[in-house]
Amino acid sequence: MRRAIPFHALPDAHGACVQAIPHYGCGMNTPAAEADIDTDLVNRLVRTQCPDLMGPLTAVANGWDNVIYRLGTDLSVRLPRRRAAVDLIVNEQRWLPVLAGYVQVALPVPVRAGVPGEGYPWPWTVAPWFDGHTAADVSPSGRAGIAVPLADFMTGLHRPAPPDAPRNPVRGVPLATRDEVVRERLQTIPRSAELLPLWQRLIDLPLWQGPPLWLHGDPHPGNLLLDGDRLVAVLDFGDLTSGDPATDLAAAWLVFDENAREVFRSRVHADEVTWERARGWALVMGTALAVHSADNPTMAAIGEHVLDQILLP
């Protein structure tokens, strides 16, 4: 099955919201678009700015932040549908060509960076169209084969970032800065009696003492593209930032079961404190998925998986 670069799925960073099973929190609907985007507009943008890339257009996603079209057979067009997503597109255009040189897996490096025009007010991107299915479409036990390549991706990515790296107030930061929102979520989760003491222990851990490292920022299974059991691309760098690598290492609980998690851990060589902070970040992301509800049962299942996994010894 072919997949375009998926839109952002976790609610913590940019307001994207997913369905939770069971239904713990109040529902949230996709925000209204702040720009009118249709096939005719996208066709005119491509024709005037990238005429050599002209091809059939097919709408494939109308998400929280972006509208995505398939362009021809090998490309996609990604356009922000609201102002809050514009900086994310700009960050990807600026930094993905740099980060692609650090890792051995494909990234959605822009083919062209579009500019406002034809009545559309914001930057937009032409990017590759990848073949495959996301890890979210596979059971946790079926993801074991990507434990080593995902660890290698993070090891390659996690290097000191420059001072002008994108800032993200909810990723790469000290866990304690997420305390209030996590406690609010835990009030609506039946297993809070188990999770709250764990959270308190995790936010009291020592802070990351190293330099700010490059981070993907949103390492859930929906952003990992597979071909069979092979990791072929890492998608959606809208949360791209720098800081504590524990944020990304939360993938150990987001993506894997207990056995594959140990393989992943042995490959990333995280010290004990960083590993425990990563558990804390998994709790941050897992509660976000568990509490907010909309229309994405796949992401909801990930949230339930995370909360189960972080309570294991």
CATH number at residue 278: 3.90.1200.10
Tell me the mean pLDDT in the region 68-94: 95
CATH number (domain holding residue 37): 3.30.200.20
Find the domain containing 178 and state its range: 133-310
Are 120 and 244 in a shared domain? no
Domain endpoint, select from 69, 95, 129:
129
Are 44 and 192 in a shared domain? no
Are 102 and 153 in a shared domain? no
pLDDT at 170 over 70: yes
pLDDT tens digits along 220-261? 999 999 999 899 999 999 899 999 999 999 999 999 999 999
Are 117 and 138 in a shared domain? no
pLDDT at 13 over 60: no
For residue 121, give the nearest of 209, 180, 37, 228 by alpha carbon. Answer: 37
The tally of domains found in the chain comes to: 2
Are 188 and 85 in a shared domain? no
pTM of the model: 0.88
Amino acid 225: pLDDT: 96
Residue-wise DSSP of 120-145: B-S-EEEEE-EESEEGGGS-GGGGGG
Amino acid 29: pLDDT: 55
Give 30's pLDDT tier (boundaries 50, 70, 90).
low
Domain endpoint, select from 114, 129, 144:
129
The CA R_g of the chain, rounded to the nearest whole Å, is 19
Are 272 and 216 in a shared domain? yes
Residue 236 inside a domain? The answer is yes
Q: What stretches of the chain show up as alpha helix (H) in DSSP? A: 11-14, 39-49, 86-99, 147-157, 179-186, 192-203, 246-249, 251-254, 258-268, 272-291, 297-310
State the amino acid at position 267 in one-letter form: R
